[in-house]
Amino acid sequence: MVTLPFTFEEYHGRQSRLLEQIPTDSLVLIPTNPVSYRSNDTSFPYRANSYMLYLCGWDEPEAVFMAHHVADSWVTTLFVQPRDTKAEIWTGRRVGTEGAASGWPVHEAHSINDLKDIAGTHLDSCKQAYLIQGLNSTLDEIVNSSIDIDSADPTSILDEMRVRKSDKEIRLMLESADIASAAHVAAISKGYAGIGEWQIQSVIEAHFTASKSRWSYPSIVGGGDNATILHYNANESVIAEGELVLVDAGCEVSGYASDITRTWPVSGKFSDQQREIYELVLKAQLAGIEACQAGSVWLSMHRATSAVLAQGLIDLGVLDCSVEEAIGDDMEFNGPYRNFFMHGTGHFLGLDVHDVGGGRQGDKDEGPILQPGMVVTVEPGLYFGSWRTDVEIPDRYAGIGVRIEDNVLITDDGPVVLTSNCPKTIDEIEALVGSEG
């Protein structure tokens, strides 16, 4: 029997908080993700929908969580793949309906083959269906073809619930952060001039696998100018003597993600120019982390990092203007410092890497209020791609890309860096590069 990451009590609490906000004449339908195919009959590794994981922990494909109201209470149901020996020979053992009914936090379970009939019957007696559309064509069809049924999206309710993490969720995220931190340490310690980006990727992802986790997003390993491409993912170049390598890689445990970026000199020592940019980004990141205070507006983190980066670019002679001019209009952040810091300062983190709840850094509003239990990333960067033609790149910084990213828990006592086991000071990094080469 599969061991679920949370107690039935915690799952039932989540279900109750959702259903308390749903009219009793409604039907709730939460499908999981469909199987996605890579080529012909070869599928991508399966990952269940985060809402399904959050509500009941079910991680097999072809499943739907349903809730309907009877008398004075809600009844929860899982539709799952039935046991099928021939299919299981090829793709693995299934829990089946009996296993789902006895081992998962729901009242009953049925075969996914009966979804249309059972859900259709309940729809006949409901006025509204709360359905996440676009994941299960059968559900979309029966809801959209019901002329007397209004359709609503339950994700806004669930998103608000998911933003603040429980103690057990935080423990899982700390475990994920520790695994990812150790993976980055392993990669840095094996670094050397001439190493391939793919080799660094293999060290990191091997550590994820050995720790019984999986990557939470495709690893970014960019050496030299490749580090100035924000979502670089080819990971196929050799990193030359004297270049920096930017590694953005995280894993997930029971669906809960970590997201870490570290930048380090592949030869073991920062050049003077690399050191200047790295120290500036680190200073900005520390300011952003300090701004992660309960009760502060979301945008406070971006303001803090932007002010440091803008002043630093002026001090280094990259920009020739005031700090206010460098940053641009308040709330817009459209000044010339954005030529070198193009993204936001961070995002929520949880069951999704870019987790639900709004408030992406760089948004043009102040965003949500930071509250205890929220987990965010803080990840300022500076990028000086020598290949760019849209802006003048100072020769002394050409080819330098630096980003530093940590995962931060908001508490009443100030920010807690969950990824603190991953070194980031210049002295720590220089001592670590190639130490196990």
* Residue 175 annotated among the catalytic residues of the structure: no
Per the annotation, the verdict on 302 as an active-site residue is: no
Side chain identity at 188, as an amino acid letter?
I
259 is catalytic: yes
Catalytic residue selected from 107, 141, 231, 320: 231
Q: Is 354 a catalytic residue?
A: yes
Catalytic-labelled residue, pool 122, 207, 262, 347: 347
Q: Which residue has the tokens 């980003």?
A: 403
Catalytic residue among 83, 171, 275, 354: 354
Q: CB of 384 within 8 A of CB of 398?
A: yes
Q: Which of 62, 169, 252, 259 is catalytic?
A: 259
**Given the residues 41, 272, 413, 427, the one annotated as active site:** 41
Is 207 among the catalytic positions?
no
273: tokens are 């120019």
The question of whether 352 is a catalytic residue gets the answer no
The active-site residue out of 59, 197, 248, 355 is 248
The residue from 256, 337, 383, 397 that is catalytic is 383
Question: Which among 47, 83, 275, 343 is annotated as catalytic?
Answer: 343
Q: Is position 130 annotated as part of the catalytic site?
A: no
Which member of 59, 379, 406, 430 is catalytic?
Answer: 379
CB burial of 69-97 (b: ≥16 within 10 Å; e: otherwise) equals: beeeebebbbbbbbeeeeeeeeeeebbbb
Active site residues: 41, 231, 248, 259, 343, 347, 354, 379, 383, 403, 405
